[in-house]
Amino acid sequence: MSRLAKQPIVIPQKTEVSISEGEVRVKGPKGTLTRDMGRHVSVEVLPEGVAVSQSGNSIEARAAVGTWASHIRNMIEGVNKGFTKKLIVEGVGYKWDVQGKTLNLALGFSHPVKMSIPEGLTVVIEKGTLSISGFDKELVGQFAANVRAQKPPEPYKGKGIRYEGEVVRRKQGKKAV
């Protein structure tokens, strides 16, 4: 069993965790998250916190316990603090702007790229930096990955979209003979 899953997950003030009909529901100041439980894991709410244990003795059950403990920790942290991912765009003429629930990207293609912003996320642009924030860690990370996938950074000039703090390994270009 995972070392993280052996300890109960502490529930902070103003947060409710409930389990019903095979789903975990976490309600906090920022919103409510629900997730269907796996069949290999049993979750129960105790006075000292949320306890995650394996329901069988299989390899899948042992592997799922730590994963589920992390999912519940992320749900509790999300409804209390929220999550943020920052993206940076580099390149001449590369830019982005938000109009309502649509993210417009100009990435050097012959057409503008339009992406709809999922419900529950807020997107803010400040000086070439795009901040994606929300209370669902999975949704924030997936949307950030989808935006980055539109134009990943290339290794010769470093143009494209990258995460804040991401290091792009640069290659040497052609040499003149």
| Mean pLDDT score, 77-96 | 92
The domains located in the chain, with CATH, are 3-80 (3.90.930.12), 83-163 (3.90.930.12)
Name the pairing type of β-strands 95-99 and 23-27.
Answer: unpaired
56-79 pLDDT tens trace: 888 888 888 888 999 999 999 999
DSSP E strands in 55-94: the ranges are 83-90
CB 82 within 8 A of CB 133: yes
Q: What angle do CA 80, 82, 86 make, to 5 degrees?
A: 165
Mean pLDDT of the chain: 90
CA distance 32 to 10: 17
Quick one: which of 48, 46, 47, 42 has its CA closest to 69? 42
The model's pTM is 0.88
Structure tokens at 14: 């103003």
pLDDT tens digits for 100-135?
A: 999 999 998 999 999 999 999 999 998 889 999 999
pLDDT of residue 1: 59
What pLDDT is stored for residue 146 in this prediction? 96
**Could you count the other beta carbons within 10 Å of the beta carbon of residue 108?**
12
* Alpha carbons 64 and 67: distance in angstroms, whole number: 5
Query: What integer pLDDT is reported at residue 3 of this predicted model?
Result: 76
pLDDT the model gives residue 2:
67
Q: What is the mean pLDDT of residues 136-147?
A: 95
pLDDT at position 106, please?
92
Could you read off the pLDDT of 9-57 as tens digits, one per residue? 899 988 999 998 889 999 999 999 999 987 888 888 888 888 888 888 8
